[in-house]
Structure 1
Amino acid sequence: MEHVFTPVLDFQAALGECPLWSVADQMLYFVDIKRCCIHRFDPATGALATTRLPEEVGCIGLVEGGGFIAGLRSGLWMLEADGTPRGMLAANPEDQEISRFNDGSVDPAGRFVAGTVDETRERGFASLYRYDASGLTRLADGLLTSNGVAFSPDGRRLYHSDTLRYTLYTYDYDPATGAATNRQVFARFGSDTDKGRPDGGAVDTEGCYWTALFEGGRVQRYAPDGRLLAEYPVPAKCPTMVAFGGPDLKTLYCTSARVGRPEEELATFPLSGALFTMRTEVAGLARPLFNPSC
């Protein structure tokens, strides 16, 4: 099997993010943060449907019974399947002039774990939160850009990155309570010649973590013990996040960005902003559904 990322949707997203496969309807959802959109892509027909929201949407999760939980600038919201706001679950507790929700994922028990981004890029005002029926709980703070939220197959390890600090962490995670403890550095990135840094990620059935390297032009796969197993070039300088999809969960989708990128870079990587796919030998994990009563 040739492992090559190819464009499946030549789509110039400004900041494509949060690809999310729905097993129920065999569709891929993803967002364009800067254009305030949720997209639904049908790989069987190539059709793309777009829902526009009144503010930036950093992440989404599928909800039991239909619709989405979404991390917006103002907070966490419940949305109908067509994107109509159903109600706010929790306000963003940070300064919304410089903070918005970014990457997030539903945990194995049905809670939502999502973080924020510090748009000053220097003060460390961002945090990682867990949302459940008891409300919003801070799991980590002092971050620049919260990203990369994913869980091991047994739900007992939480992966999480601080992109602008070029660091990917793991936590011991308790699926019964949602407690995240014992933060450890899993991998560090970047050098004088390589500015690639960990953005969104996903975990496969072997427990390996896949991460898109923003400004690194590639996706990497790591063993649970932290060994780099493989890396795969992406025809865009800024891949943003990966997600497994397809009927067998062996199609790896990868979003990308073009907003704010230099003209010479876009000339070299004209597919920046596109949605890419690559077939894998190992399957990914089906994404859990958010349970509002959890």
Structure 2
Amino acid sequence: MNRRHFITQSTLLSGLMMTNATHALSAKSDLLSIPNLLCLWDFARKQPLRSKGKYTYQLQEPTNKIPVVNDGVLSENSLDIKEHEYLTIPRADCPGLNIRGENAQVTVLAWVKRQVKSRDNIECEAIAGMWNETQKKRQYCLFLNIRLHNSKSQVCGHISGVGGPTPGEKWCIDVSIGQTPVRYDEWTFVAMTYDGHVIKSYRNGQFDARADRNPYPYEGGIFEGGADGADFTVGAVHRLGAIGNDFVGQLGGLAIFDRALSADEIAQIHEQHPLPKPSVATLATGLNFPEGPAFAADGSLWAVELKGESLIQHRHGKLKRFHVGGGPNGIAIDKQGKIWFCDSAQRSIRRFDPVTGKTETILDKIDGEPLNKPNDLAFDSVGNLVFTCPGESRQEPTGYAVVRMRDGSARKITTEKYFPNGLAFSADGKTLVLAETYKHRLWKGNWNPATGEWTDAIVWATVEGPQGPGGPDGMAFGEDENLYVAVYGTGLIHVVSPEGKVIQKINVAGQHPTNCAFDPSGKLGLVVTEAEKGQLQQVVKNTKGITLFN
């Protein structure tokens, strides 16, 4: 009986006799049986930082003690690496990982759940390898988010045969760059291989081809760093005289081989070690550009179909449509349970009564002119209605926002905006935040409900939008005081702290989230409307939203 057969049989027997806690043993056994494995870290309980395999090296924590959390892939655990934290093994203590030479080969596998860091817009993210840019002692390293050649957030395999920058370049640009971004807050299996001739990047078990960059031909071999070469580091590398290029997030497994695994082997590893499913559920599908979710007092969820000319009600798992015509957009629900909505096609603010089924136009002009394609709206603490009118202000700052006071009078509260869009009031009603979509920024100012004045408004936060159409859209405040912003074109909800910093990015299914709302009961968490797939989605969150005004 060969070793692979013996381990497989042992694993099957263990699975019959033991509980789900032994899944980690099966995972370790499968990987340990693959030829040329040097080190495997699965972060299991007893010695989470000691590797298994040919070499049993201990990762060291030079910054802070890195928490081991109960959420993993290869075992029940993973490391939760924060910004400015990393792990290392001094070069002298890990000679087996010193892969080098003209004919050297290497594979690095990692299971990651990526999170936001303060410099994620401009700085790459090192997963693991021997890579010291400061001393020009580069060898090999698995990265994310290299940001070369119009890339962002992809899996990147770096190899250097010279130690320093690529000849004639400022940096080392000998790197394979995949096509598909690694999403935030979602487990992803990432990998790089080098066979002495070609560097390749893999994502979730698949070779992630990209024209001219993946595969990347490279005949230079791997640099011999000598006795004072690079240490082995995890979560950062030495560059510009200091440790940096941080990876922030969870690491659920890490494996190093001195052989280039084949595409079939990597696909099989992915199949044998399935990733935990992301926490996004579909409440309704088949919707024609959904927007503007809002919860009524009876717990029902309302939204619109912008291109379906309808309002929709989701209650007890069932969907009901109410055809209203025009181009319904954002929604706000008043104390009587009536549904107020923007209508961009009819250039008006309209109101629907669920009891009678009747719809009436409340406002269609400002300063004697038709409203400029109203988009989103919200009530303040005394019942004044604020709404945005972006019109066609994608290229020119012709968008504005309006307040309709309780007495029916209306006036503009801000002008000269590039596509003003979503808006939200703070819990105390004294602050109004407004999204300027095509500038990828959020404005924040003081709100006076007695006078309907928005004063001292400043650019409070910026969010990273797509290169093409899109940016911050609808938004909702959580009771954690963070603002949850749907960023159209990115497939993400950005979580913005009270200080105006993006502290988390939450994945949704599809690239075009249009708006979001919290279930006041907490049962559904954060609900998102997504236009690409035409869905109402539930994002599981441990926080509720603030109570909205009506």
Q: Please tell me the residue identity of whatever aligns with 1:107.
A: D
For residue 373 of structure 2, give the secondary structure of its aligned residue in structure 1. Answer: strand
Q: Summarize deviations over 1:214-236 as a string: whole Å, max 9, x none.
A: 01111111111112221111111
Mapping of residues 170-189 of structure 1, within 5 Å: 170-189=444-463
Aligned twin of 2:331: 60
Q: Summarize deviations over 1:153-184 as a string: whole Å, max 9, x none.
A: 11111010111221111011123332111111
Mapping of residues 23-102 of structure 1, within 5 Å: 24-42=297-315, 45-72=316-343, 73-81=346-354, 84-93=357-366, 99-102=372-375
Give me the whole-angstrom Cα distance separating, in 1, the residues matched to 2:445 and 2:356.
32
Q: Is the 8 A contact 2:435 2:472 kept in 1?
A: yes
Percent sequence identity over aligned pairs: 21
For residue 313 of structure 2, give the secondary structure of its aligned residue in structure 1. Answer: strand
Q: Is the 8 A contact 1:202 1:243 kept in 2?
A: yes
Q: Specify which structure has the higher proportion of helix.
A: 2
- Shift of residue 279, structure 1, vs aligned partner: 2.3
Give me the whole-angstrom Cα distance separating, in 2, the residues matched to 1:50 and 1:86.
14
For residue 479 of structure 2, give the secondary structure of its aligned residue in structure 1. Answer: coil
Q: Specify which structure has the higher proportion of strand.
A: 1
Alignment of 1:285 with 2:540, yes or no, is: no
**More contact order relative to length (CA 8 Å, sep ≥ 6):** 1
Q: Is the 8 A contact 1:51 1:83 kept in 2?
A: no
1:205 aligned to 474, 479, 490, which one? 479
Mapping of residues 105-254 of structure 1, within 5 Å: 105-119=378-392, 121-132=394-405, 133-190=407-464, 197-245=471-519, 247-248=521-522, 251-254=525-528
Q: Is the 8 A contact 2:476 2:484 kept in 1?
A: yes
Give me the whole-angstrom Cα distance separating, in 1, the residues matched to 2:417 and 2:357.
31
Deviates more, 1:166-175 or 1:118-127: 118-127
For residue 443 of structure 2, give the secondary structure of its aligned residue in structure 1. Answer: strand
Unpaired runs of at least 5, structure 1: 259-271, 290-294
Q: Is the 8 A contact 1:201 1:211 kept in 2?
A: yes
Q: Summarize deviations over 1:64-120 as a string: whole Å, max 9, x none.
A: 223222222331223211574453322143865x93110111112211111112236
For normalisation by structure 1, the TM-score amounts to 0.84
For normalisation by structure 2, the TM-score amounts to 0.46
CA RMSD of aligned residues (A): 2.5
Give me the whole-angstrom Cα distance separating, in 2, the residues matched to 1:127 and 1:142.
6
Q: 1:71 to 1:92 in 2, by over 3 A?
A: farther
Q: 1:247 to 1:49 in 2, by over 3 A?
A: same
Give me the whole-angstrom Cα distance separating, in 2, the residues matched to 1:153 and 1:192.
30
The count of aligned residue pairs is: 272
For residue 382 of structure 2, give the secondary structure of its aligned residue in structure 1. Answer: coil
Q: 1:192 to 1:128 in 2, by over 3 A?
A: closer
Q: Please tell me the residue identity of whatever aligns with 1:13.
A: L
